[in-house]
Amino acid sequence: MREIQIRDALREAMTEEMLRDERVFLVGEEVGSYNGAYKCSRGMLDQFGAKRVVDAPIAEGGFTGIGIGAAMLGLRPIVEYMTFNFSLVAIDQILNTAAKIHLMSAGQIHVPIVFRGAGGAAFQLGAQHANSIEQFYAYTPGLKVIAAGTPYDMKGLLKSAIRDDNPVVFFESELTYSTRGPVPEEEYLVPIGVADVKREGTDITLITWSKNIYLTLEVAKALALEGISAEVIDLRTLRPLDTQAIFNSIIKTHRCCIIQEQHLVASYGAYLSHIIQSEIFDELDAPIGLVSSLEAPMPYSKPLEAVILPSRERCIAEVKKVLQGCR
């Protein structure tokens, strides 16, 4: 094992898959000569050339469509968005073409493509650059949706995504590209659709995904100082969802709190709550807790941004309400 940053784990995953399969290529804004907006593709242009590391203009609808067309004809594109906020420009291409053409062609056409980039809030980027829209893609049949948080999971899941014959939406985070963690020297894959228990516990299950795994682990550590044992489930994949891992944990703890960066209304956390209560209601000893971003566009002000986003204090307060059964 060695400790590497998430940006390097992603670069290694893309590089290894491009060496393994000549059909794989990377396209996006600044992925080539600038080495990637977040340096995830550093050195790849020199290694693979401009035909396989393609600098695209600021036209997400255009290069997304080109990527989908290339996938339909047998290539395996990786389409990078500078942030997933900009993927909304290409939403018709992703939801109405990539996700649906396999069904509409009666299984004759596959779209082996990965849409990847930074999702969620960063520091003081304002309302238009801080959307957490994982549920928007997870809502859509035909797409697989990954939202991992650690270097190990990022590398292993990106390699699996590139090899998958279906369109995969792969969420990262601007705030964690420099985060370090252990990654094996040898090749490995992390299977899509398998959650991970990041911390064992007995009193309550905390469910989260993407960069909020770090906040949730902080919450669990703080709760432990008060004698509360929290189990932390990192979903890693939102579609397909590993419901069994969730159920197994709640059957052990009998209480649950979901921590998400999305807004509450029509959120993925609300969907998780429905699944848990409809499938294993009798295992619950208290209503499910849910911590979300407050219902307002993200302000530019740093103090106000901290109020909007889930905080350790809000999470701990919600967990204690669940433990007291008084939500």
Ordered structural domains, the chain, with CATH: 2-183 (3.40.50.970), 196-324 (3.40.50.920)
- CA 307 vs CA 20, 159, 186, 217: distances in Å: 46, 36, 42, 20
Inter-residue contact 51 to 32 (CB < 8 Å): no
d(CA 256, CA 246) in angstroms, rounded, equals 9
pLDDT confidence bin for 125, thresholds 50/70/90 = confident
Query: Averaged over 150-179, what is the pLDDT?
Result: 97
**Cross-strand partners of 208:** 234
Question: How confident is the model over 250-270, as pLDDT tens digits?
Answer: 999 999 999 999 999 999 999
Kindly name the residue from 17, 80, 102, 129 that is annotated as catalytic: 129
Q: What pLDDT is stored for residue 130 in this prediction?
A: 87
User: Residue 4 pLDDT > 80, yes or no?
Assistant: yes
User: Residue 249 pLDDT > 80, yes or no?
Assistant: yes
Whether 274 is catalytic is no
Q: How many CB atoms lie within 10 A of CB 96?
A: 13
Kindly name the residue from 12, 29, 60, 231 that is annotated as catalytic: 60
Output the pTM of the full model: 0.96
Question: How confident is the model over 8-42, as pLDDT tens digits?
Answer: 999 999 999 999 999 999 999 999 999 999 999 99
For 130, phi then psi, to 5°, come to -135, 20
Whether 22 is catalytic is no
